[in-house]
Amino acid sequence: MDAHISPSTVSGTARAPPSKSYTHRAILAAGYSDEATVYDPLDSADPRATQRAVNAFGGDVTPVGDGNALAITGFDGTPYVPDDVIDCANSGTTMRLVTATAALGDGLTVLTGDDSLRSRPQGPLLNALSTLDVRAESTRSNGQAPLVVGGSLAGGTVSIPGDVSSQYISALLMAGAVTDEGIELELTTELKSAPYVDITLEVLEDFGVTAEPVGTSGTDGVRSAGADGFVIEGGQQYAPANGEYHVPGDFSSMSYLLAAGAVAAADGESVVVEGAQPSAQGDSAIVDVLDRMGADITWDRDAGTITVGAAPLSGTTVDVGNTPDLLPTIAVLGAVADGDTVIENCEHVRYKETDRVSAMATELETMGAAVTEEQATLTIHGGESTLEGASVEGYHDHRVIMSLSVAALAAAGSTTITGAEHVAVSFPDFFEVLSSLGAGVDRTE
């Protein structure tokens, strides 16, 4: 499907979807439990992959009510060996988190996914599990899926890099809680995307499980930042208070709506985004980024609402080491700002659904932006950029598609984005919400 977006002004109130990161972890945590109900989960392609995995391991995930909750009967810390291959589709979070779950089984689990997922690195997690005396192999011996994993993980001490994917750490922490010995993780490199580990720690705590960073940590309010490693004791029981868990709103998804308001709000009008309660999500940093760039933005934390209006934006420098998913949004903001926007520490953003650094550089240049791409830095020269409508590639990547949609609002002339159906990964009704705010959106098969 292609999305055709006309230059538009926007205003009104919208609600971002529930957090994908929290939804994944909550579904799996409920799977590790005896039973739990997860309220307000994100219903999209990626979390459905995690639901399928929980079912495959012997749990049962059933939608209840009007689809705003999942009643989950878990496998109580002891996953069954699946009857069939687990297809994680395009969900890297699912594959990494449940690879460690599979390691607990006394038989072998086979995990695979689509073309994109089968190209993403899993080697460090496989190596860590192998060190812990688990069979963990890539069938093609290249550190990529399909994977074969199993061997009754008992726990132990292991080293793992922190700069490839924080999901490796989250996977081991979640599984480590139900091992006999627990797991001690030593990081061999600096931890990137630390807020995502904080999300894991928060969900674990809400499910009655404790894990702790080791060493000096807690930089800039991020509990895991600067940690030398993590310790999680074994023999713990997943059990949320009152048997239920509520998923917060997703700041990664909010970033597109907030950016839309910042670059395209009608004169004297604003965009109000609901569901913005504070949480461990690092991507709430988008509020600070917009503020530093000069946007007219206020966050009522108690009410959970963020209000943003259009204002002249100025370039800034942003380190996305802890917030990789914000790179596409910030790149678009830089293209309409005055001066240079420098996105630093972004090499790990090349290992997402696609190489998002290269994708955003290429497509923004197609739309008329001046861009300098380096291995770990992306610079958008806003003062030299004039966005024009164009036909751009979505790379089957939900975050690239949504950020380019925001750029299209501020471009001169209509923009066509290919593969627009892939917003279903994290924000299924993105285009409906954008249209409800006044954007000119048309879709064709």
- Looking at the chain, the whole-number percentage of residues with pLDDT higher than 90 is 93
- The pLDDT tens digits of the residues spanning 66-118 come to 879 999 999 999 999 999 999 999 999 999 999 999 999 999 999 999 999 99
Structural domains in the chain plus CATH codes: 2-17+249-444 (3.65.10.10), 20-233 (3.65.10.10)
179: DSSP letter? S
| Residue 260 pLDDT greater than 90, yes or no | yes
- The pLDDT tens digits of the residues spanning 14-25 come to 998 899 999 999
236 is annotated as contributing to ligand binding: no
Of the two residues 278 and 399, the one the predictor is more confident about is: 399
Q: What is the pLDDT of residue 58?
A: 98
- The pLDDT tens digits of the residues spanning 224-238 come to 999 999 999 999 999
Q: What is the pLDDT of residue 16?
A: 85
177: DSSP letter? T
Contacts with 100 (C-beta within 8 Å, 6 or more apart), sequence order: 125, 129, 153, 171, 172, 174, 175, 176
| Residue 65 pLDDT greater than 90, yes or no | no
> Across residues 261-269, what is the average pLDDT?
96
Q: What is the pLDDT of residue 216?
A: 74
Q: What is the pLDDT of residue 415?
A: 98
For residue 60, name the pLDDT band (cuts at 50, 70, 90).
Answer: very high
CB atoms within 10 A of CB 257: 26
116 is annotated as contributing to ligand binding: no
Q: Is 325 a catalytic residue?
A: yes
Distance CA 258, CA 255 (A): 5
193 is annotated as contributing to ligand binding: yes
263 to 224, 227, 257, 333, 380: CA distances (angstroms)? 33, 37, 10, 7, 16
- The pLDDT tens digits of the residues spanning 120-161 come to 999 999 999 999 999 999 999 999 999 999 999 999 999 999
Q: What is the pLDDT of residue 445?
A: 87
What mean pLDDT value characterizes the chain? 96
Contacts with 298 (C-beta within 8 Å, 6 or more apart), sequence order: 306, 307, 308
User: What are 198's two structure tokens?
Assistant: 């904080």
- The pLDDT tens digits of the residues spanning 172-223 come to 999 999 999 999 999 999 998 999 999 999 999 999 999 999 987 677 788 9
399 is annotated as contributing to ligand binding: yes
Contacts with 115 (C-beta within 8 Å, 6 or more apart), sequence order: none
Q: What is the pLDDT of residue 350?
A: 95
> Across residues 362-388, what is the average pLDDT?
98
Distance CA 355, CA 371 (A): 16
25 is annotated as contributing to ligand binding: yes
**Least trusted range by pLDDT, from 5-14, 225-234, 273-282:** 273-282
15 is annotated as contributing to ligand binding: no
20 is annotated as contributing to ligand binding: yes
Beta strands in 89-160 (DSSP E): 109-112, 135-138, 147-150, 156-160
92 is annotated as contributing to ligand binding: yes
| Residue 263 pLDDT greater than 90, yes or no | yes
For residue 366, name the pLDDT band (cuts at 50, 70, 90).
Answer: very high
Q: What share of the chain is helix, strand, coil (3-state, %, to 5)?
A: 35, 25, 40
Among the listed residues 87, 250, 325, 397, the single catalytic one is 325
Q: Per-residue b/e over 186-225, b at no fewer than 16 CB within 10 Å?
A: ebeeebbbbbbbbbbbbbbebbebebebeeebeeeebbbb
426 is annotated as contributing to ligand binding: no
325 is annotated as contributing to ligand binding: yes
Contacts with 33 (C-beta within 8 Å, 6 or more apart), sequence order: 72, 74, 76, 207, 237, 238, 239, 240
292 is annotated as contributing to ligand binding: no
